[in-house]
């Protein structure tokens, strides 16, 4: 089955700095890579995703890059704000399979 | 509001009891899931279910059973609760992959505490 590794497990940045979270996956057949944000007491919410036929996708201050050859993908958050503080999960999926999640990164943005 | 809703939000119960968590989605999705999130925040798949197939994670004890009265509901029954069952349980749903849409929508979670 798919195995997704996520680093770092915790990340502390100052407001305004950039944050990068990295994930690797094991199944070369995986073709869908979402990122979820989980705020305290809430369920994970999809913030951005990327398909295997695309190398990069951007949505305002967040972007995701995918390197299929190396089987890794990354989340980039620019100009971080305190409200970006949350746990972020990467995940991978092939077609009809279930999503496999990384173990999460706790991002803390200090004012 | 279109959403995945689960009840109750909090559940405190004694060891040995039997309890249920309900989940409903009004998104018209075809597949529903139950995930368990432990104290380290790891999201572990327990079940995935559509109206044709139930896929069970082999590590899930048979004290846990999903019940689906219809396509929009997937309830979780837990028998003989144990201390180690304490966790947050999330319901989620997704459309058919052949729609080209692969993302999951999660409910807000049920925090189960077994005492």
Contact (CB<8Å) B40/A101: no
Res. B54 pLDDT band, cuts 50 70 90: confident
Task: Show the CA angle centred on residue B29, arms to residues B25 and B34, nearest 5°.
Answer: 60
Res. B53 pLDDT band, cuts 50 70 90: confident
Res. B56 pLDDT band, cuts 50 70 90: confident
pLDDT-above-70 percentage for chain A = 100
Alpha carbon distances (Å) from B26 to A46, B32, B98, B110? 18, 12, 19, 18
- Mean pLDDT over the full length of chain A: 94
C-alpha radius of gyration, chain B, whole number = 14
Torsion of CA A93, A98, A100, A104, to 10 degrees: 110
The C-alpha of B95 sits at a distance from chain A's nearest C-alpha, in angstroms, of: 10
Q: DSSP labels for A84-102?
A: G-EEEEEEEB-TTSPPEE-
The C-alpha of B28 sits at a distance from chain A's nearest C-alpha, in angstroms, of: 17
Does B2 have pLDDT greater than 80?
no
Mean pLDDT value across residues B33-55:
88
Contact (CB<8Å) B97/A45: no
Res. B109 pLDDT band, cuts 50 70 90: very high
DSSP state of A103: -
Contact (CB<8Å) A43/B45: no
Contact (CB<8Å) A49/B55: no
Which chain B residue shows the shortest CA-CA distance from A31?
A: B102
pLDDT in the model for residue A72: 95
Which residues of B fall within a CB distance of 8 Å from A100? 45
Strands (E), chain B: 4-7, 10-13, 19-25, 31-37, 43-49, 54-56, 64-70, 73-78, 87-94, 105-106, 110-114
Mean pLDDT value across residues A32-58:
93
pLDDT-above-90 percentage for chain A = 86
For residues A94 and A89, the model is more confident at A89
Choose the closest CB to A95 out of B33, B42, B97.
B97
Res. B1 pLDDT band, cuts 50 70 90: low
pLDDT in the model for residue A53: 85
Q: Does the CB of B12 have a partner CB in chain A at under 8 Å?
A: no
Cis preceding-peptide flag for B8 (omega within 30 of 0): yes
Mean pLDDT value across residues B70-96:
94
Choose the closest CB to B106 out of A44, A103, A106.
A44
Q: Which of A57-66, B7-16, B53-62 has the lowest mean pLDDT?
A: B53-62
Mean pLDDT value across residues B43-48:
91
Choose the closest CB to A98 out of B4, B45, B90.
B45
């Amino acid at each position: 089955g798919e195995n997704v590794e996520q680093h770092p497990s915790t990340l502390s940045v100052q407001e305004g700095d950039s944050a990068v979270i990295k994930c690797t996956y094991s199944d070369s057949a995986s073709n869908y890579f979402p990122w979820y944000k989980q705020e305290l007491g809430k369920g994970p919410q999809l913030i951005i995703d990327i398909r295997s036929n695309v190398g990069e996708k951007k949505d305002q201050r967040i972007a995701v890059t995918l390197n299929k050859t190396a089987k890794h993908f990354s989340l980039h958050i620019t100009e971080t704000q305190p409200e970006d503080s949350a746990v972020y999960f990467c995940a991978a999926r092939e077609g009809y399979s279930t999503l496999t999640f990384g173990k999460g990164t706790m991002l803390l943005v200090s004012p | 509001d279109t959403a995945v809703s689960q009840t109750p939000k909090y559940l405190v119960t004694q060891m040995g009891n039997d309890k249920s968590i309900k989940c409903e989605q009004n998104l018209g999705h075809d597949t529903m899931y139950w995930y368990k999130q432990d104290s380290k925040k790891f999201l572990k798949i327990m079940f995935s279910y559509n109206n044709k197939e139930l896929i069970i994670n082999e590590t899930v004890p048979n004290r846990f059973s999903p019940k689906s009265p219809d396509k929009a509901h997937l309830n979780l029954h837990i028998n003989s609760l144990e201390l180690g069952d304490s966790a947050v349980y999330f319901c989620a749903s997704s459309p058919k992959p052949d729609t080209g849409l692969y993302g999951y929508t999660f409910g807000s979670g049920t925090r189960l505490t077994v005492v």
